[in-house]
Amino acid sequence: MPLWQWEKIQAVSRSLALILSAVVAINSATAFSLGTTSTPQPGNVPQPVVQVSLSPLPPPPGGQTVVTVEVQLPSGFYQDADSSFLNFTVLNDWPQPHPLAEGPLTTSTPQTRRGHASFQGRFTLSRTVQVPPGPQPSHWSVRFSYQICQIDGACLLPSQTTIRVNLAPTPTLTSNPQKFVGQTAHSSSSQFSGPPLWAWLAALGAAFLGGLILNLMPCVFPVLSLKALAVVKASGENQRIQRLSSLRFASGEAASLLLLGLGTAAVKLAGGIPIWGGLFQLPAFVLILIVVFWFFALSLWDIGPRFAPSLRSAPATDFANGAVKVLAAAPCTAPFLGPALGFAFALPAWSIPLFFLAIALGLALPDLLLAAFPAIFKLLPRPGAWTKHFEQFMGFLLAGTALYMVWIYENLAGSSAMWVILVLLWGLTLLFAGGDVLTKNKRPWIRRLFFSLLALIVLVVGLILSQPATASAVSQRPSPALVSTSATSASRPLPAGWKPFTRQQLQQALAEGRPVFVDATAAWCATCLVNENGVLADPEVQQAFKTSGALLLRADFTRPSTPIADWLNEVGRAGLPVYALYVPGKDHPHLFPELLEKQSFLSEFSKLLNRP
């Protein structure tokens, strides 16, 4: 048997053994998972028509005004009057959205349906809001949340809409001059002056520093192998090629972040809540990354053409690998990055891409330095026989990243869909090994096209086959009403002593004089997992929690959750992780850094609670 065929068999055996070990690990880790989610929302379903009015208008500075939300439900639907999702919050949008002090919620008289209070047709909600003293902004925002159900049918997913209310009265045809109907959140307002220039510059600087520090965050470590391979590849070239390689990698990072920024701006224009890393809540996006990283790993194991950066890869792969690094690193934030994104997402949509470019500049700074000073490459060892083993080791890191994302996929879509993906990865490995033999003597571009089409077919098949498994997993999980009270938004079980995040528990504990610690996390946030296992689960930290009597709430954002998204927006954060300590008697929670260190965390925690 020729040597190259024997090496191919060894590479295939390694990949299959890695999949088998992942099967055992994932199966044992999820054997006792809770598996909870919400019912999927059908497409093309009529939504409520919402209008907002204020009385008096304009609201008196330092006084009070009554905010009324009038809702017209679509025909054939009802809204439970006692639903935990039925609520609205009034936000002051400047300098960033923050809730105003408000009184209890009152409603119009509900009807009785099967022994439960509910609304059909038109109903109103109202509450008194305390107007802050001093100059007022041009508008407020009213965030209305709800969950409507079909009469004698299923309930839809909890939803929300944001209505912008101008605070200056304008000529209208309404018979009551003291009322003004709110505009939708994506309408423009030329009167809104926004934050001052120094605040913009500070936030852009924070975004740049956050992007730079993001290179050192745990969520980026698995994909740094892409950059390591690119550097090793360029170390044996002349300075011109070294500069071009670094610039291509940096350009890929910048282009990917700019696209994310444009997509985030589109979400805001559509009335949604932008979230850094929100793409990882989509099973299809996670599946694409699984196939891409497994594709790269196979190429480093000499199965298929060279798509991952290596001594034999094409120059164009530098750009693609820089883009993939950004997509894989997007789930986590870094110090300075969370506040900067919270500030950016409160601004008009057109300004969001500017902050993403600032993040891109910080993230790509090491590559730009390599391009500006290619002499740094001389400090690296020259490529040689050792690079073959280095590439295979990096292939294992990329394969490990792919299998970690398989675990994320299991949390999003259920264990049945996860098994489908593992079988497809096994099949992709065998197909690549067979295709490698068939196309061994073909031209490089033919091989690349052949294997790219093969991977695309496997991806499409995976999306099609995993859909029934996903639907089955969703149908077997509790209804949204149960989810809101009994479990988090993800399938991960809660550790002992923790409870799922709900606003009711947070407010009740503070009313009782009890501190509250909130951990906003997700399965796709690697930094969150490092903090949870390395700090929050530490016996000393657990004892500090127990001694303080704090209520521990975990806001698991693995799957979309409107209450958690609202809470992140209220604390001025747009990504994970977020660690907040609420102390009774204080107006605002204390936010801990994104990357926790045990001793500093314990010291700060005790200091905030005035304990030695």
**pLDDT for the residue 35:** 32
How many angstroms separate the CA atoms of 567 and 503, rounded?
Answer: 8
Q: How many CB atoms lie within 10 A of CB 141?
A: 18
CATH T-level topology, domain 481-608: Glutaredoxin (3.40.30)
**pLDDT for the residue 463:** 72
pTM for the structure as a whole: 0.60
**pLDDT for the residue 223:** 67
Decide if pLDDT at 224 tops 80: no
Confidence class for position 535, pLDDT limits 50, 70, 90 = very high
**pLDDT for the residue 11:** 54
Q: Looking at mean pLDDT, say which of 8-22, 536-550, 584-598 comes out highest.
A: 536-550
Confidence class for position 41, pLDDT limits 50, 70, 90 = very low
Closest CA to 304 of 417, 395, 206, 387: 395
Confidence class for position 515, pLDDT limits 50, 70, 90 = very high
Decide if pLDDT at 272 tops 70: no
In terms of pLDDT, which residue wins out, 306 or 113?
Answer: 113
Decide if pLDDT at 293 tops 90: no
How many angstroms separate the CA atoms of 103 and 127, rounded?
Answer: 6
Compute the C-alpha angle 277/348/50, nearest 5°.
90
- Dump pLDDT digits (tens) for 161-205: 888 888 765 433 232 333 333 333 333 333 334 566 777 888 899
In terms of pLDDT, which residue wins out, 47 or 157?
Answer: 47
In terms of pLDDT, which residue wins out, 482 or 92?
Answer: 92
- Dump pLDDT digits (tens) for 59-99: 888 889 999 999 999 888 889 887 777 889 898 876 566 78
**pLDDT for the residue 226:** 65
In terms of pLDDT, which residue wins out, 223 or 408?
Answer: 408
- Dump pLDDT digits (tens) for 121-134: 999 999 999 888 77
122, 226 Cβ separation under 8 angstroms: no
Q: What's the mean per-residue pLDDT of the chain?
A: 76
Dmax over Cα atoms in the chain, in whole Å? Answer: 91
Contacts of 347 (CB under 8 A, 6+ apart): 194, 195
Decide if pLDDT at 43 tops 50: no
91, 52 Cβ separation under 8 angstroms: no
**pLDDT for the residue 531:** 93
Give start-end residues of each CATH 2.60.40 domain in the chain: 49-184
How many angstroms separate the CA atoms of 331 and 524, rounded?
Answer: 6
Lowest mean pLDDT among 244-253, 390-399, 594-603: 390-399
- Dump pLDDT digits (tens) for 419-451: 888 888 888 788 777 777 677 777 767 777 777
The 3-state secondary structure of 358-376, one letter per residue: HHHHHHCHHHHHHHHCHHH
Beta strand spans in 46-170 (E):
49-55, 64-72, 77-80, 87-92, 98-99, 106-107, 111-113, 116-119, 122-130, 139-146, 148-150, 159-166
480, 502 Cβ separation under 8 angstroms: no
Decide if pLDDT at 31 tops 60: no
Lowest mean pLDDT among 2-16, 322-336, 501-515: 2-16
In terms of pLDDT, which residue wins out, 226 or 315?
Answer: 226
- Dump pLDDT digits (tens) for 227-241: 676 676 666 667 777
Domain with residues 49-184, CATH architecture: Sandwich (2.60)
What residue has token string 């998972």? 33
Confidence class for position 381, pLDDT limits 50, 70, 90 = low
- Is the CA virtual torsion 89, 93, 99, 101 positive or negative? negative
Confidence class for position 479, pLDDT limits 50, 70, 90 = very low
Q: Looking at mean pLDDT, say which of 28-37, 349-358, 384-393 comes out highest.
A: 349-358
Lowest mean pLDDT among 329-333, 537-541, 568-572: 329-333
Give Cα 63 to chain centroid, integer Å: 38
- Which helix (H) or strand (E) segment holds residue 521: the answer is strand 516-521
**For the chain, what percent of residues have pLDDT higher than 90?**
17
Decide if pLDDT at 56 tops 60: yes
Give start-end residues of each CATH 3.40.30.10 domain in the chain: 481-608
**For the chain, what percent of residues have pLDDT higher than 70?**
74
**pLDDT for the residue 474:** 44
**pLDDT for the residue 17:** 52
- Give the DSSP letter string of 580-609: EEE-TT-SSPEEEPSS--HHHHHHHHHHHT
Q: Looking at mean pLDDT, say which of 149-158, 220-229, 355-364 comes out highest.
A: 355-364
Task: Please compute the mean of the pLDDT values over residues 358-366 and round it to a whole number.
Answer: 91
Decide if pLDDT at 510 tops 60: yes
